[in-house]
Structure 1
Amino acid sequence: MFVCVSSSSQYYLASLIPFSVSQFALFSLFHHVFIYVVRKPLHQTTPKSEFCEWKEANNHCAKLTKRMDRAKKKFASAIDGLRSLHNRTEINVEEKVQSEHCRFTRVVRHGLPDDPRCCAYDPVQRLIAIGTGRGHIRIIGDAGVDYLLKHESGEPVLHMQFLVNEGGLITSCGTDSIHLWNYRQKTPEIVHTVQLSKECVSCIHLPVAAKWLYIGTDKGNVYFLCLNSFLLSPYVINWNKAIDLSCRVHPGPVRQLAVSPAENTKLLIVYDKGIVVQWNLANKEVDRYPLDPPIKSVNWHFDGRQVLTGNVDGSISLYGNKKASEPIQRTTPHGSGPCRPIQQVEWKHMSENESIIMFSGGMPTDDGLPMPALTILKGGKSATVLEMDWPIIQFIPLNQNIWNSIPQCPHSVAVLLKHDFMVLDLNQQGHPVIESPHAMNIHESPVTCVSYYSDCPLDLIGALTLVGTKQRNKEFSTRVSWGG
């Protein structure tokens, strides 16, 4: 058996090894030494001519063995050095968790948005938007529909209007800026912004399918914003042109704007001090309503021939479109005694002959502290007073028909409270609350901690669902959806 030793790209005949093996290899980390064993018959006699080569190879193999021994010693000493270094290394572990060790990320939203300020409704897509004092917008719908938009400025959202069935939302913030959101895309964003420089936005109004946004300001003026270009029109309604010349007092900010459903050239303007005027956009003619009593809120009949007003003394008045100087009818729903102002009034129709009036406020003053309540009058006969636990910020009738020029047929009403949000069923006796698919009462529940668990078994989820069903409020409406 011949052994060939390779070192530094040189090959040598090492030795005659009387082994009966087929192959053997030796590899060194520091010296590329390979020993190849070739089978030879046992007890074969080496020729004399190869004796010198054999002796030289044998001597060189001895030298290689010494070099390998030295390399092994160096390698062993290196390993010992690494071990000693590892033993001497001290690992400093901070026992207290610092702020830089944590990175909190929002993974879930639960409960009513904090500090709600306003709300809006899209009757086609059945979406409700809630604006907050922190610049957030919560858009909710049926089960599984829940989005959150955020203004980077963090300014409160004071007014909102949907672009019905167009995937757009207009917001007015405390910085006197008006934004147009596009939430049709995967990541909703602001696509247009306009800034008012010298006046503050006090209200906005956008009729269905309109191309102009009506803007009321704290100075009493009305501006018009083109939605296509998002530029302000040079057409402006100045307060001193709208009020009576005999009135020497500033009417205050514009509190409400309402366009006639029959003629889009007729615009109702409600000022803070109770003055209401009807402005003709075409010829700039003005019809003024009486100041006694001061008016807080207005609403058009769907045919545009009559106007219903909610007054400061708790009464509601009905005016004809052709004669605004005196009311056709006036009544106080909660008695003839002193009543609180009506803050908001809505006049809708189930059919041409069946109306439904909803208003907040107007409760008697002799009941002590003001009780927030929503009053619903059906057909001018039956009255239902729904007392609330929190002050009413705004309420919106949820209509089946999106056009205001025909009976709207509201099926429910959404009520935004200071610490709650609810939807009332208008088609069921007593107007019970429709159970919300979204949690809204976190402020009332005694929550002390929250834990998150992933990959829960299905039987556990089913058991929790069964327990929640047994605890379901029996006073909920039989309707299971806000969509009607």
Structure 2
Amino acid sequence: MATNLWKYIRSKGHGPEQDARQKTAKELLSFKSASKAKRLLDFSFQTSQYGFPNRPSALAYDAKLNVIAIGTRSGSVKIYGAPGVECYAQHDNDSPVTNLIFLPGQTGKFLRFPGRFISVCEDNTLYLWEINSQDNRTTIECINRSVLESRLKKISAVCLSSFYDQLYLGTEGGNIYVLDWNSFVFVEAAVIHLDAATQSTEGIARVAPGPVEAVAEHPTDSDQLLIGYSKGLVVLWDLKEKAVCSFLLGAASKPTESLEKPNVVYGPFPCKPIPKMLWRTTKGPNPFLILSGGMPRSRYGDHQTVTVMQGEKHVVFDFTSKVVDFLTIGGKLELPYLFVIHSSSITTSHYVGDVSPELWTSLTAAGRAAKRVPSSRKSPGRYPAVSLSSITPPKTTRCC
């Protein structure tokens, strides 16, 4: 038995036989990879992208262009316009997309489908994309890129200025960097350093307030920036004076100030984190408060929820998969599809060509009946994604 054990240990060593075996394995793997790449190259003209992307990681909507952008963990970006119309782009480094930001009011080279947006990847690379249309073909072109290097500069929060000329980037090191998107370079003079932002604070937050969790511009004063850190420190920063206006650390920064009583939605027992929260005003006195997560761990730890509150109204939406991101558009809308294919997992699919007109009429009638909304509840507006109209003329042959 000892002899067999000694042979096993020697077989796991780095002798000549083991090195030869590893070299053979590498050569075989490289041969397989080359063969696979050749096959993909030979048949690349037969492949295409369609449908909802796999492993989504970021979401953005442009109200002017009426398009939706979705980034994925594989480094791709898909733009959805009118029903059946999609555009696809791929980052050259295949790094996961963490943020997508549309630049309102920006135009491309060809004014038929203007639009620009910025994508932020997990490796701290930022890309500037442009949606263009020429010769009845819509494309997404990468026109610029920039990298925020250093391990302590890993981007953790993003905020676009109200004038759409600068992008504030919060990092895990605690600093705020500013990107001028016109030149797509970082403005060194505009960096908000952690030491300067915490010089008026006290206690542990001044020593280690943690990464930047959120950055937001003042809604009525574009010269003020609200910065939130992971340890609970919140700083109001004046961009002109380059100084702290006020701060909050578990208590009021001034003795004369009064704090509102915290609103414990699902307490007092331990609850799940709240990754995202939105505050939306209305014409009435009660605004909307929308948040993801926050449910009690003991009973709803495995639930994926989005909570909507307005005054005394309280509604919780429970989803079957993780909520990556969400946004608000407004109005009740009728989906322009036969049915929502992602309401449950897809296990199989089948293609049928040359569908008879009778069957096609029955299918469309069933779809209209299923998605019919009472006129009192129907939104007067169109479905959000309506841009980038189809450039292919309709065919007489139908398939399903």
Q: What TM-score do you get using the length of structure 2 for normalisation?
A: 0.71
How many angstroms does 1:109 deviate by?
Answer: 3.9
1:343-378 superposed Cα distances (whole Å, 9 cap, x missing partner): 221111112623111111222233153422111111
1:241 is paired with a residue whose SS is helix
Change (3 A) 1:384 1:100: closer
Show CA shifts across 1:198-237 (max 9, x none).
1222222113442111111121111111121112112111
How many residue pairs are counted as aligned between the two chains?
327
- Aligned with 1:384 (options 300, 312, 315): 315
Is 1:343 equivalent to 2:301 in the alignment?
no
Distance in 2 (CA, whole Å) between partners of 1:100 and 1:159 is 30
For residues 389 and 100 of structure 1, the distance between their equivalents in structure 2, rounded to whole angstroms, comes to 35
> CA deviation digits over 1:449-474, x for unaligned, max 9?
44374x66655533432344456598
Aligned equivalents of 1:278 and 1:464: distance in 2?
A: 57
Counting only pairs closer than 5 Å after superposition, residues 27-426 of structure 1 correspond to structure 2 as 99=39, 103-105=43-45, 108-166=48-106, 167-185=115-133, 186-198=138-150, 199-234=153-188, 235-243=190-198, 244=201, 246-247=203-204, 249-286=207-244, 287-291=246-250, 326-351=258-283, 353-367=285-299, 369-378=301-310, 380-398=311-329, 410-411=330-331, 425=332
Q: Which has the bigger relative contact order, CA under 8 A and spacing at least 6?
A: 2
Q: Sort the Cα spacing of 1:325 and 1:388 in 2 relative to 1 into closer, same or farther, 3 A.
A: farther
- For residues 290 and 134 of structure 1, what CA distance do their matches in structure 2 show? 38
1:311-351 deviation digits (Å, cap 9, x = unpaired): xxxxxxxx9x9999652242112354443332221111112
With over 3 angstroms needed to count, the CA separation of the structure-2 counterparts of 1:135 and 1:322, relative to structure 1, is: farther
Deviation at 1:144, TM superposition (A): 4.1
| 1:335–1:245 Cα change, 3 Å | closer
- Compute the displacement of 1:245 (Å): 5.1
Larger radius of gyration: 1
* Deviation of the 1:445 alpha carbon: 4.0
Aligned equivalents of 2:225 and 2:139: distance in 1?
Answer: 36
Q: Against the structure 1 CA distance between its residues 434 and 358, is the aligned structure 2 distance closer, same or farther, given a 3 Å change threshold? A: farther
Unpaired runs of 5+ residues, structure 2, are 1-37, 107-114, 386-400
Q: 1:326 to 1:145 in 2, by over 3 A?
A: farther
How far has the Cα of 1:107 moved from its partner?
5.4
Structure 1 443/132 Cα, relative in aligned 2: closer, same or farther at 3 Å? farther
The question of whether the paired residues in 1 share the 8 Å contact of 2:160 and 2:166 is answered with yes
Q: Closer, same or farther in 2 for the Cα pair 1:457/1:107, shift >3 Å?
A: farther
For 1:359, the aligned partner's letter is L
1:181 positional shift: 0.3
Partner Cα separation in structure 2 for residue 160 and residue 437 of structure 1: 26
- 1:435 aligns with 335
Counterparts in 2 of 1:372 and 1:148: CA distance versus 1, 3 Å: same
TM-aligned CA distance change 1:176 to 1:334, over 3 Å: same
Name the counterpart of 1:40. none
1 or 2, which has the higher helix percentage? 2
Structure 1: unaligned runs, 5 residues or longer: 1-97, 293-318, 399-409, 412-424, 426-432
State the partner residue of 1:74: none
Report the TM-score, using the length of structure 1 for normalisation.
0.60
Q: Distance in 2 between matches of 1:366 and 1:466?
A: 45
Structure 1 residue aligned with 2:348: 448
User: CA 1:483 to 1:103, structure 2 compared with 1: closer, same or farther past 3 Å?
Assistant: closer
Task: Say which structure is richer in strand.
Answer: 1
Name the % identity.
27
RMSD value, Cα: 3.4
Query: 1:462 corresponds to which letter in structure 2?
Result: T
1:110 and 1:442 in contact (8 A); partners too: no
Equivalent residue number for residue 360 of structure 2? 461
Residue 104 of structure 1 and its aligned partner are, at CA, apart by 4.3
Q: Is the 8 A contact 2:339 2:367 kept in 1?
A: no
- 2:248 counterpart letter in structure 1: Y
Cα 1:225–1:336 change in 2 (3 A) is same
